[in-house]
Chain A
Amino acid sequence: MTDMPNTATPRHSLLKPDARTVKRNRAEARFKSYGIAAIAVGLLMLAILLTTIIGRGVGAFQQTFLTLDVQLLEEKLDKNGNRNLDEIKKVSTFGYAPLMAAALEVKVAETGITTDLKPKDMAGILSKDAAAQLRDFVLDNPELIGTAVEFEFLTNSRVDGYMKGRVTRESIANDKSISAEQLDLVDALVADGALEKRFNIDFITGADASDARPEAAGMGVSMLGSLFMMLVVLALALPIGVAASIYLEEFAPKNLLTDIIEVNISNLAAVPSIVFGILGLAVFINYMHLPNSAPLVGGLVLTLMTLPTIIISTRASLKSVPPSIRDAALGVGASKMQSVFHHVLPLAAPGILTGTIIGLAQALGETAPLLLIGMVGFIASNPPDGIASGLMDPNSAMPAQIYEWAKRADPAFYERAWGGIIILLVFLITMNAIAVMLRRRFERRW
């Protein structure tokens, strides 16, 4: 009689997965593919975003210029011939327009281009800002009066658009700003090499320009506005935020009051930025009578907005310093403050800096509160000179400037808005890269 034990469950070979394992592995593979799909969608969106921004915005960095030899006639610009700057200033841009028209006429004659256009219409291909630029150049170099100079004139935005393919002969059928004959002239000048498209530094450094002269508009002044705002934010939000977090994290007793404060700081971080804008309008402008449109006010509003971000990240990095370090310091007889400032804060510093930079980057891209406090100033004049005027004079900010351009009718401004976005993104990416680098570099392991 064989009395073998009954083996109800057959032994499974490890070489052949059972049904349960097969099912589990399939579920795992499925989950992995969902993840990969999600990342792929994200990357696709990013690629679309970047190609759109760059495709539409990169044109703004190029501008069409017409190089002409201009006779700076003494009898027109300095009648008395004594090179007195005050007298030269009396000649308005209208005094310069005929010089440009004449220069263009000479150029056309020289190159043998045949056109039916009158000299005045020929000059129509130049920007309305060209005369002002020539005047500024002469005022800077009065000794050149009476000589002939080679000058690069900005062309009209339609000509620029034609060079960039935005304007075509069909699209100008109803356009009073430019005619088909003028485009013929443009083609001829391009063939001659006098008219060409090239990199335009003024887009990055220049000031905004009026609706009629998009070709002269630049980001420079609003960049300064953003810079002054960031200085205000840094000078206020960093010390206040760090002091508040150190107190809350290291010194404050844990009770109902500090719990309420903590919850409210987290809530503030989620408050829509436009709420801070209307608060700034009510408090800083209507009640405290600080100047409208000033970067100081913008900075104050953005400080309010950035504080919760800085406090939250600072508290997180203070919390991540192991308590054994505090014990060690207290154990050798350091006071609470010494233990915080000698040991805890230096260890938390990279985290604090990272949080601050990310907070600043967030503030740099913020538009809504600036609209409410009027920081969409139209600044077509020279950039602010000095810190006081930088803080108190009306100005714009990069995102507000982009918004302002996007609003305008001329498609040339639309292109500049995209270009402005590229500049803004370059700043944001740089700041975030610095934050990541700091974190990598100073991260400590215990």
Chain B
Amino acid sequence: MKDNVISETDVTTNQTKIAARNVQVFYGDTHAIKDVSVDIQDKTVTAFIGPSGCGKSTFLRCINRMNDTIDICTVKGDILIDGEDIYDSAVDPVQLRAKVGMVFQKPNPFPKSIYDNVAYGPRIHGLARNKSELDDIVERALKRGAIWNEVKDRLHAPGTGLSGGQQQRLCIARAVATEPEVLLMDEPCSALDPIATAQVEELIDELRQDYSVVIVTHSMQQAARVSQKTAFFHLGNLVEFGETDKIFTSPEDPRTESYITGRIG
């Protein structure tokens, strides 16, 4: 066992949703993720923190196999969701991504109407039998994305016409519309102002009721505010993983301490 991987054993209150075992990721010759093993629990917000280029986004993208779209990227090791290996050859990444939703760093609504943005996922997955069911799904998703009240009168206006924070909440609504079980968020607030950030953070806390949320963030305050568990990545290694309070108050690894006190990164 590697010294720098500190496995946390004292928090086992929730059941494990995602289990990663010895995950290695290579971009061509670059070893981006080095032997990461981590258990992510259901109905919990888990934050990935660490300096730029430490591999936290790469690891996040492994969880819904978005790295498959990059030709030179290879993933070794196992990632299990509900005990099923998602890198098994029998798994269709398209089906996986319906189950594991993703919100990206930059708000990226489709250049279509707000309604069509949210309805797209349910449409291609056949979640609605008719128009009124689809309307219900869209309304529910927009409500869960905490944007319903702002857009309910202009559902057919283009999604790209919203403000940055609204666009990001629309993207969250779009992600939850397909009824995923895991929600991955890659620095969802990096393009937002503090007010929009606060709204999104509040939303993340609500989403925890239904989903296992994994969030990558550069803001340690944000990690401390929204997450229950925190993982600290450094140079491709998972340095420390545990209760957020513990990571921020009494980290075990000196590198974690250096990072959260601002000496490295």
Contact = CB atoms under 8 A, between A and B. Distances in A.
Contact of B97 (A326, A331, A342, A343): A331
Nearest to A343: B110
Contacts of A325: 108, 110-111
A8 to B, nearest CB: 44
Interface in A241-256: 253-254
Contacts of B97: 330-333
Interface string A322-341: 10111111111111001000
A299 B57 CA distance: 51
A342 B125 CA distance: 14
Nearest to B99: A333
A347 interface: yes
B120 interface: yes
A342 B101 contact: no
Interface string A281-299: 0000000000000000000
A151 B124 CA distance: 69
A333 B125 contact: yes
A94 interface: no
B160 interface: yes
Given A333-B97, A343-B110, A328 B121 contact: no
Interface in B102-141: 102-104, 106, 108-111, 120-121, 124-125
A330 to B, nearest CB: 6
B124 A333 contact: yes
Contact of B104 (A331, A335, A338): A331
Contacts of A335: 94
Highest count of chain B CB atoms <10 Å: which of A322, A325, A334, A342: A334
B110 A328 contact: yes
B144 interface: no
Interface string B61-84: 000101001010000000000000
A444 B124 CA distance: 25
A113 to B, nearest CB: 75
Contact of A332 (B69, B106, B120, B160): B120
Contacts of B171: 328
Contacts of B71: 253-254
A446 B108 CA distance: 9
Contacts of A330: 66, 69, 97
B169 interface: no
Contacts of B108: 322, 324-325, 327-328
B174 to A, nearest CB: 6
A303 B131 CA distance: 44
B47 interface: no
B182 to A, nearest CB: 12
B9 interface: no
Nearest to B117: A328
A329 B106 CA distance: 14
Nearest to B111: A444
Interface in B228-255: none
Nearest to A333: B98
A446 B160 contact: yes
A327 B124 contact: no
A329 B97 CA distance: 10
B58 to A, nearest CB: 14
B256 interface: no
Contact of B102 (A253, A331, A342): A331
Interface string B45-68: 000000000000000000010100
Contacts of B146: none
B32 interface: no
Contacts of B110: 325, 328-329, 343
Given A329-B110, A331-B101, A444-B111, 16 more contacts: A324-B104, A326-B69, A328-B174, A329-B120, A330-B69, A331-B64, A331-B104, A332-B124, A332-B177, A333-B97, A333-B121, A333-B125, A334-B120, A334-B124, A343-B110, A446-B111
Interface of B: 64, 66, 69, 71, 94-95, 97-98, 101-104, 106, 108-111, 120-121, 124-125, 160, 171, 174-175, 177-178
Interface of A: 253-254, 322, 324-335, 338, 342-343, 347, 444, 446
The 3 closest A-B pairs by CB, nearest first: A333-B98, A332-B121, A324-B108
21 contacts: A322-B108, A325-B110, A325-B111, A327-B66, A329-B120, A330-B66, A330-B97, A331-B101, A331-B175, A332-B97, A332-B101, A332-B178, A333-B95, A333-B124, A333-B125, A333-B178, A334-B94, A334-B121, A335-B94, A444-B111, A446-B111
